[in-house]
Chains A and B, each alone.
Chain A
């Protein structure tokens, strides 16, 4: 059973770079072909898809964040990461990592989720 766990600083100063890591357990990040995804949810608001990286290394980002986001994979640590630059208070949110899975040939883009980690942007 795949499990995902987000980690990283809970407090980031405005204008700095938010960096989070998602550690994958229950399987190798290199095993099979998968999308590794980041999603966030500001308090009181809906979920926002940030972007994803495929096993091959190709990435897709939400156009609203594309200029500030980088998602990467570290196979040696069985982790993938999110970097969001030039943060401000609007980036305060619970951040989730997720992975796809296939059900009877249907690819569910965010089947496995982490529990989420709160990141607050404040000086």
Chain B
């Protein structure tokens, strides 16, 4: 299985801050990586697909980059509604695997 190491596991930041989350794959996954936002009691929402493509309707403050084994997810200016858990997902190979998630809180 491809292991996805996501960090940090939790993060506290202020409104307006730049927030960065990383995911590292145990082997190359090309650009087959997605980023999701998950709020309690709701369905996870796709934000970034194929490592760097912004899903339609997602605010431009969200972005992703990387390829191969190292990936980064960034929120350029944190908003109160961004409080959620964020996780990465690789789909280069089966079984599909996920990062452990980053719980984002407001200071």
Contact = CB atoms under 8 A, between A and B. Distances in A.
Chains A and B bind each other? yes
Interface of A: 4, 45-49, 51, 60, 62-64, 96, 103, 106, 108-116
Interface stretch (B12-20, B36-44, B67-75, B76-84): B36-44
Given A46-B87, A103-B49, A110 B96 contact: yes
A111 B43 contact: no
Contact of A115 (B42, B96, B99): B42
A53 to B, nearest CB: 13
A111 B46 contact: yes
B97 interface: yes
Contacts, number: 52
Interface of B: 1, 34, 41-44, 46, 49-50, 53, 55-56, 87, 89, 91, 94-101
B50 A46 contact: no
B43 A49 contact: no
A106 B98 contact: no
Contact of A63 (B34, B95, B96): B95
